[in-house]
């Protein structure tokens, strides 16, 4: 695996491959890699001639300074995992490479996507995500961009970015990889205590519960039941338990099997904010 830190160097390298007809897959990450990230690298390797992983903890997407400062950094292990997975290129830029002096940060018209769920609870987060992904797409110019369903709303935001800016890249959404317990893999899980990690399974259990009972109870009753359950299993704060139209993220009051539906949860345990989601139709 070749490691590049400078935009000019990786651009030159990728241009050489692009002109010789090679396709490029990009897997953007913030590091502290786990099997969820590696599943995206594998998808990239299947689809494209060259797989590029970026590791960059993007300051502009953190609305909580504490969360940014505590974000885990495990670079040596990350490099070993990427080597094992057969990743071709690692892009490891500094903040100055991604956001050079004098560059003006754009604002993106994300509509309702920025106002609901993560958008509501993390103001400015999706503007930061768009700023970094737009810049990475500009630098790498990938054929395919691989993202995880784990960050469902983020996938919708990036699809919107691609459309807004008429970017010639296809978005590939890969399934959420879970621990044997059902807990969605996340870099933030590293910050959980042993007890917290055990208790955090309640998020996945809640998604499954809603999926199994969607025809039996009202949406209101399901949300109430699950919220109470999470609070009794160790979660200290629930940002949302929502059942939404999977195409628009509008909140649903009644379940209609004709409407693609997604359940999304964000909640705190051990002071760590976890998110997860499940499609139910």
Per CB under 6 A, does 61 bind ligand AMP? Answer: no
Please, is 248 exposed, middle or buried when counting C-beta atoms within 10 Å of its C-beta (0-12, 13-18, 19+)?
A: middle
CB of 274 to ligand AMP, least distance (A): 11
> 78 or 114: whose CB is closer to ligand AMP?
78
Residue with tokens 């953190």: 62
Tell me the C-alpha distance between 15 and 11, whole Å: 6
Active-site amino acid positions: 37
Q: In this structure, what token pair is assigned to residue 244?
A: 């939404």
Per CB under 6 A, does 29 bind ligand AMP? Answer: yes
| Pair 157, 110: CB distance under 8 Å | yes
Per CB under 6 A, does 117 bind ligand AMP? Answer: no
Length of the chain: 281
- Judged by CB under 6 A, the stretch of 8-16, 36-44, 94-102, 194-202 that binds ligand AMP is 36-44
CB of 172 to ligand AMP, least distance (A): 10
Q: In this structure, what token pair is assigned to residue 247?
A: 């195409």
CB of 76 to ligand AMP, least distance (A): 17
| Pair 170, 143: CB distance under 8 Å | yes
> 30 or 113: whose CB is closer to ligand AMP?
30
Q: Contacts with ligand AMP in 130-189 (CB under 6 A)?
A: 147-148, 150-151, 174, 176-177, 184-187
Tell me the C-alpha distance between 52 and 140, whole Å: 8
Interface residues with ligand AMP (CB under 6 A) are 29-30, 36-37, 39-40, 147-148, 150-151, 174, 176-177, 184-187
């Amino acid at each position: 695996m070749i490691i590049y830190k400078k935009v000019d160097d990786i651009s030159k390298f990728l241009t050489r491959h692009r002109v010789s007809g090679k396709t490029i897959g990009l897997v953007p990450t913030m590091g502290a890699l786990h099997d969820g990230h590696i599943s995206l690298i594998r998808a990239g390797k299947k689809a494209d001639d060259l797989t590029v992983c970026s590791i960059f903890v993007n300051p502009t997407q953190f609305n909580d300074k504490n969360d940014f400062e505590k974000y885990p950094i495990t670079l040596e292990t990350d490099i070993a995992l990427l080597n094992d997975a057969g990743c071709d290129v690692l892009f490891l830029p500094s903040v100055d490479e991604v956001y050079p002096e004098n560059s003006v940060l754009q604002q993106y018209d994300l509509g309702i996507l920025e106002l609901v769920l993560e958008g509501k609870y993390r103001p400015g987060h999706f503007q930061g995500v768009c700023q970094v992904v737009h810049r990475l797409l500009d630098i790498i110019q990938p054929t395919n961009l691989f993202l995880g369903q784990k960050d469902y709303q983020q996938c919708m935001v990036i699809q919107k970015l691609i459309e807004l800016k008429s970017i010639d890249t296809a978005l590939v959404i890969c399934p959420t990889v879970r621990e044997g317990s059902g807990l969605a893999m996340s870099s933030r899980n590293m910050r959980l205590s042993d007890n917290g990690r055990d208790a955090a399974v309640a998020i996945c259990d809640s998604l499954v519960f809603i999926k199994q009972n969607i025809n039996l109870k009202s949406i209101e009753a399901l949300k109430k039941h699950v919220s109470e359950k999470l609070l009794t299993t160790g979660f200290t704060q629930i940002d949302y338990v929502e059942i939404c139209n999977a195409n628009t993220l509008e909140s649903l009051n009644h379940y209609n099997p004709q409407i693609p539906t997604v359940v999304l949860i964000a909640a705190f345990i051990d002071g760590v904010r976890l998110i997860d989601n499940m499609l139910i139709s």
